[in-house]
């Protein structure tokens, strides 16, 4: 029997200790302490140390403290997941699906609250954090139905009185390592399909955004996911990565983050042949053809380039524009970039929030300098925003480079910030060539009114995702998500394709002939 799950999210079970901040001699606010979730219990780290979760729009605001966990904590979480696996894999999949449906319902109920907390912890505007929570809701509802499908195949056997079929089986304990830019959606892309397939998990969120993942885990607990099935451990990747990636009881590591770290995950998994699913960088592109609806293309470039402050792996950080419309496009794009309202994402008038932390802000500043030195033309932005409402946060102007050459670093490397490079092209074929000529292959788009060009680009762009007359961002959960080249390692998250990550195939033959039959040999 499973032990009863904690009954209510509203209880303060996870926040046993609070801190009082003293400001000008006055107690200002209470800072909640969040714990790890291991084997159905909310527990402190064996380190006894915590780290702070701060608001990137106002880094004086501490949203909570989280456990700075150790390898020992991870080992306990893996042991709990391993113990729970024996029972969870035997729970009928439709029943697992029902619990996941409940997860979706609870997320829906608390969507606004979770969105507000997410804007506070990572900065993107409220509309986008609502979308992030919605993506987790969509994933829960879509995947819950898989509990009643998880289709395998039945197929004729080549011998008489013999039956053949294939079924999916879970792998066991999965380590899920998730990023800060979609702090609830991406954990849900991994967690929910892993669970419906019958796996148990240890999830480690990015240290910039532990609360959104915590909210998802609490919802799982409330929905009735039994103890030990989902384990949540916070702390630094450099400390926790090794046990998460190398422990012999872990069967799969699912990672979303930079290509650089993805490579280390891949290498760490190799000696023990762990399954490894990687979602990494992008250098996504919008092609603007000479017949494009220009205003629409500009809107797409603004949304794709500056949405989430450019911090999406699907962000449109390059725009390749036909020379006939290049000048007009650039003028319109620069005007829109300059007019964007930057500020605290909780303000409904704000269109772009801060970047997530000081390091990310420096990276953006570095790339602005690199672009200038390479000879790109700075047409909008180019500076961090300082003073007044900006003084306590990590704000940067929406930045636009024109006259970018395809091989410049700003056109080749993932910046993960509000910087867009516009590249002129002489003709359509050249535009496609430039668009493909980067080390990544996540998302691409074309704006054109010509159906022939649209289909040619659909065929020739070597990316995992492609859009016609829409920007490079906004993938839906029931379609496969992932990319080619250095973006991934051949897997696709989301859609029914995610099931292929989180399950293994077993082919089963049942011989009811009552005699020895030999495949391939008893042929005549």
User: Per the structure block, which two tokens stand in for 123?
Assistant: 């900065």
Report 279-318 residues binding ligand UN1 (CB under 6 A).
Answer: 312-314
**CB of 406 vs ligand UN1, minimal distance in Å:** 23
Using rule CB under 6 A, residue 81 touches ligand UN1: no
**CB of 132 vs ligand UN1, minimal distance in Å:** 8
**CB of 107 vs ligand UN1, minimal distance in Å:** 16
Burial letters 28-61, b for 16+ CB under 10 A, else e: eeebbbbbbbbbbebbbbeeeebbebbbbbbeeb
- Alpha carbon 258 to chain centroid, angstroms: 11
Binding mask 105-144 for ligand UN1 (x = CB under 6 A): ------------------------------x---------
Residue selected from 475, 498, 499, 501 as contacting ligand UN1 according to rule CB under 6 A: 475
Strand 26-32, strand 18-23: pairing: antiparallel
Closest alpha carbon to 115 in 359, 349, 348: 348
- C-beta atoms surrounding 309 within 10 Å: 33
Place of tokens 């999210």: 9
Provide the greatest CA pair distance for the chain: 94
Using rule CB under 6 A, residue 474 touches ligand UN1: yes
Q: Which is nearer to ligand UN1, 269 or 473 (CB)?
A: 473
CA distance linking residue 79 with residue 227, whole number of Å? 12
Using rule CB under 6 A, residue 181 touches ligand UN1: yes
Selected range binding ligand UN1 among 100-108, 285-293, 421-429, 469-477, rule: CB under 6 A? 469-477
| Count of residues near ligand UN1 by CB under 6 A | 9
CA distance linking residue 445 with residue 107, whole number of Å? 31
Using rule CB under 6 A, residue 473 touches ligand UN1: yes
**CB of 497 vs ligand UN1, minimal distance in Å:** 15
- Give catalytic status of residue 313 as yes or no: yes
DSSP 283: -
- Give catalytic status of residue 276 as yes or no: no
CA distance linking residue 313 with residue 279, whole number of Å? 9
Selected range binding ligand UN1 among 73-81, 85-93, 344-352, 470-478, rule: CB under 6 A? 470-478
Is residue 93 within 8 Å of residue 320, measured between CB atoms?
Answer: no
Residue selected from 42, 114, 182, 303 as contacting ligand UN1 according to rule CB under 6 A: 182
221, 227, 279, 351: which is the annotated catalytic residue? 279
CA distance linking residue 478 with residue 315, whole number of Å? 20
DSSP string of 9-35?
TTS-TT---EEEEEETTEEEEEEEB--
Q: Which is nearer to ligand UN1, 186 or 194 (CB)?
A: 186
**CB of 307 vs ligand UN1, minimal distance in Å:** 8
Q: Which is nearer to ligand UN1, 144 or 316 (CB)?
A: 316
**CB of 513 vs ligand UN1, minimal distance in Å:** 52
- Alpha carbon 55 to chain centroid, angstroms: 20
Alpha helices in 53-110 (DSSP H): 71-88, 93-109
CA distance linking residue 263 with residue 269, whole number of Å? 10
121, 313, 351, 493: which is the annotated catalytic residue? 313
Using rule CB under 6 A, residue 176 touches ligand UN1: no
Active site residues: 279, 313
- Contacting positions for ligand UN1 (CB under 6 A): 135, 181-182, 312-314, 473-475
């Amino acid at each position: 029997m499973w032990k009863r799950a904690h009954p209510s999210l509203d209880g303060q079970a996870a926040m046993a200790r609070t801190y009082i901040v003293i400001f000008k001699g006055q107690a200002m606010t209470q800072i909640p302490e969040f714990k790890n979730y291991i084997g159905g219990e909310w527990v402190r780290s064996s380190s006894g140390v915590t780290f702070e979760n701060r608001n990137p729009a106002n880094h004086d605001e501490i949203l909570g403290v989280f456990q700075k966990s150790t390898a020992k904590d991870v080992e306990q979480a893996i042991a709990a997941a391993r113990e729970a696996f024996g029972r969870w894999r035997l729970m009928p999949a439709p029943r697992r699906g029902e619990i996941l449906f409940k997860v979706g319902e609870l997320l829906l109920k608390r969507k606004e609250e979770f969105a507000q907390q997410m804007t506070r912890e990572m900065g993107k505007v409220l509309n986008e954090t609502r979308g992030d929570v919605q993506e987790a809701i969509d994933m829960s509802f879509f995947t819950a139905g898989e509990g009643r499908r998880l289709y395998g195949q039945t197929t004729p056997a080549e011998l008489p009185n013999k039956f053949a079929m294939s079924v999916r089986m879970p792998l066991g304990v999965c380590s899920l390592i998730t990023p800060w830019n979609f702090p609830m959606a991406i954990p849900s892309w991994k967690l929910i399909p892993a669970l419906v397939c019958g796996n148990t998990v240890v999830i480690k969120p990015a240290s910039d955004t532990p609360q959104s993942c915590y909210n998802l885990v609490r919802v799982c607990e409330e929905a009735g996911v039994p103890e030990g099935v989902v384990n949540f451990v916070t702390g630094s990747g450099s400390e926790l990565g090794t046990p998460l990636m190398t422990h012999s009881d872990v069967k799969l590591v699912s990672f979303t983050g930079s290509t650089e770290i993805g490579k280390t995950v891949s290498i760490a998994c190799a000696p023990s042949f762990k399954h490894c699913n990687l979602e990494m960088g992008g250098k996504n592109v919008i092609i603007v053809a000479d017949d494009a609806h220009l205003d629409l293309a500009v809107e797409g470039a603004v949304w794709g380039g500056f949405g989430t402050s450019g911090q999406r792996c699907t962000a449109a950080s390059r725009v390749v524009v036909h020379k006939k419309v290049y000048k007009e496009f650039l003028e319109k794009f620069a005007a829109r970039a300059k007019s964007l309202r930057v500020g605290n994402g909780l303000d409904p008038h704000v269109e772009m929030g801060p970047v997530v932390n000081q390091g990310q802000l420096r990276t953006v500043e570095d790339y602005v300098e690199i672009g200038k030195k390479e000879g790109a033309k700075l047409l909008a932005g180019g500076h961090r925003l300082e003073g007044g409402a900006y003084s306590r946060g990590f704000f940067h102007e929406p930045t636009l480079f024109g006259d970018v050459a395809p091989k410049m670093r700003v056109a080749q490397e993932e910046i993960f910030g509000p910087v867009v490079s516009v590249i002129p092209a002489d003709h359509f074929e050249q535009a496609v060539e430039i668009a493909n000529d980067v080390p990544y292959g996540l998302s691409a788009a074309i704006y054109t009114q010509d159906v022939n060009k649209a289909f040619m680009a659909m065929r020739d762009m070597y990316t995992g995702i492609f859009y016609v007359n829409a920007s490079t961002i906004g993938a839906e959960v029931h379609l496969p998500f992932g990319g080619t080249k250095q973006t991934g390692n051949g897997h696709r998250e989301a859609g029914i394709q995610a099931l292929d990550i989180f399950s293994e195939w077993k082919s089963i033959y049942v011989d009811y002939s009552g005699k020895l039959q030999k495949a391939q040999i008893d042929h005549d």
